[in-house]
Amino acid sequence: MTHETYAEPRYQSGFGNEYASEALPGALPQGRNSPQRAPLDLYPELLSGSAFTAPRHENRRSWLYRRQPSVVSGRYQPYAQPHWTTGGDRTIALPPEPMRWKPIPPDNADADADFVDGIRTLAANGDAEAQTGIAAHVYVASRSMERRAIVNADGEMLIVPQQGRLLITTEMGVLDVKPGEIALLPRGVVFKVALPDGLSRGYLCENYGAQFRLPELGPIGSNGLANARDFLAPVAAFEEAGGEYEMVKKSSGRLWRAPLKQSPFNVVAWHGNLAPVKYDTANFMTIGSISFDHPDPSIFTVLTSPSDTPGTANCDFVIFPPRWLVMEDTFRPPWYHRNLMSEFMGLVHGEYDAKPGGFKPGGASLHNCMVPHGPDEEAFDKASQADLKPQKLDNTLAFMFESRYRFIPTAYALQSPALDADYADCWAGLKDLFKP
């Protein structure tokens, strides 16, 4: 890739549509996918993100035209990254109470790690082999991946940067992703992450289940929430410089590494509907109550990964963006609640209205199935006394990975000094105000 490609990535718009892009004119075959000899003597390679026979609306695949097929590789050896774990660990005694972490992980906050080595799994559920569940990770990294790439065969990767821009080079081109934006990298797409701002941190959802897609809009109609055109896929770009690479592969819960004689970013043209994308949450068309009551947060769903039970997601990716609150005679923050669904939350910046105190950017909270939670004492006191003028919740971005499966925190997360042992105290002062 030229320097200009890095400075100014270019994009094609849409989500799950048929993109087409060539870095060199004429590199895409016309009228067929695998001619006897492809243009420019490139190798056609099919990347399928769904079964061949998946229904048309769920079918995702792209054709990559590359200088060498992906199968050209050195032999894989085990790679040690013990902090990136897979699936729910059923041997861990899962605390049946609310949990929260301060910004994580302070232990390697200035670590000399790249994106792969900087991943820390906080909690996970399901089983990558059964293609169910997700993992919630954080990353803290200060080193760019130079001649090193990663491919994840266990799931797609939803990246939520919290601090520092990420330049994500993929087989299909480059995504420039800053905090407030998210990136979604399909299972099996090779990528590497450069850190132009130095020390960078954020959250990751590794989704072993059905691919994330836009939610149904029901009575909302044909527009709103995350609009498909605001998702951006890269245009084709390939690395010119020769020389060796290291490929890290995550497969079946383990990491491996192999030497490559050539850059894996050697795709000169591609077309299809399986692609990495980025999305700026500032483009989210937020819907709320303009009468009374606090609506269910499902109205803030950006992307959903369904399970086999309709309406009961493997994972919903939900954001709490800046928005106006105008509801009359209403307790405006989230209500106190207990849910079937399990909730892992993070904060990109600002304050979250239910927890103005202890929930900090870079931190996390976990409220599993039927674990009671809701506004802390400070939020309750303010909201139950507030003068209900229209109010803008501004300069804030929280998010939730919500899943039908309980998240099991990792031993790392349970032993971390970031675990907030006093979390429950934020509700301890809620008094019995009953006035019969």
Paired with 170 in beta bridges are 173, 191
Q: Residue 233 in contact with residue 19, Cβ under 8 Å? A: yes
Check the annotation: does 137 bind a ligand: no
Cβ-proximal residue to ligand OMD, closest one: 334
- Cite the beta strand spans of 125-208 per DSSP E: 134-141, 148-152, 156-163, 166-170, 173-177, 181-185, 191-194, 200-207
Paired with 258 in beta bridges are 247
Nearer CB in complex with ligand OMD: 198/295: 295
| Contact of residue 354 among Fe ion, ligand OMD, none (CB under 5-8 Å per partner type) | ligand OMD
Nearer CB in complex with Fe ion: 196/297: 297
| Contact of residue 137 among ligand OMD, Fe ion, none (CB under 5-8 Å per partner type) | none
Check the annotation: does 373 bind a ligand: yes
Q: Is 209 exposed, middle or buried (0-12, 13-18, 19+ CB in 10 A)?
A: buried
Q: Residue 366 in contact with residue 411, Cβ under 8 Å? A: no
CB of residue 400 vs ligand OMD: minimum separation in angstroms? 6
Active site residue 57: no
Tell me the three-class secondary structure of 377-419, residue by residue: HHHHHHHHHCCCCCEEECCCEEEEEEECCCCEECHHHHHCCCE
> Residues interacting with ligand OMD, by CB under 6 A?
297, 334, 337, 343, 354, 367, 373, 400
CB of residue 364 vs ligand OMD: minimum separation in angstroms? 12
| Contact of residue 322 among ligand OMD, Fe ion, none (CB under 5-8 Å per partner type) | none
Q: How far apart are CA 306 and CA 5, in angstroms?
A: 35
Which 140-179 positions form the footprint of Fe ion (CB under 5 A)? none
Annotated catalytic residue within 3, 57, 137, 294: 294
| Contact of residue 60 among ligand OMD, Fe ion, none (CB under 5-8 Å per partner type) | none
Tokens of 28: 């895409």
Nearer CB in complex with ligand OMD: 159/345: 345
343 near Fe ion (CB under 5 A): yes
CB of residue 359 vs ligand OMD: minimum separation in angstroms? 9
DSSP-derived letter for residue 84 is: -
| Contact of residue 74 among Fe ion, ligand OMD, none (CB under 5-8 Å per partner type) | none
Nearer CB in complex with ligand OMD: 14/333: 333
Q: How far apart are CA 271 and CA 138, in angstroms?
A: 32
Paired with 101 in beta bridges are 364, 419
Check the annotation: does 337 bind a ligand: yes
Nearer CB in complex with Fe ion: 74/356: 356
Q: Is 251 exposed, middle or buried (0-12, 13-18, 19+ CB in 10 A)?
A: middle
| Contact of residue 29 among ligand OMD, Fe ion, none (CB under 5-8 Å per partner type) | none
CB of residue 181 vs ligand OMD: minimum separation in angstroms? 22
Only segment of 85-93, 155-163, 273-281, 343-351 that touches Fe ion (CB under 5 A): 343-351
**DSSP per residue over 36-53, as a string?**
SS-GGGPEEEEEESS-TT
- Amino acid letter, 371: V
CB of residue 254 vs ligand OMD: minimum separation in angstroms? 34
Nearer CB in complex with ligand OMD: 343/420: 343
- According to DSSP, the β-strands at 277-280 and 181-185 are antiparallel
Paired with 251 in beta bridges are 254
Which residues are catalytic, by number?
294
Where along the sequence are the contacts to Fe ion (CB under 5 A)?
343
Q: State the binding site for homogentisate.
A: 352, 373
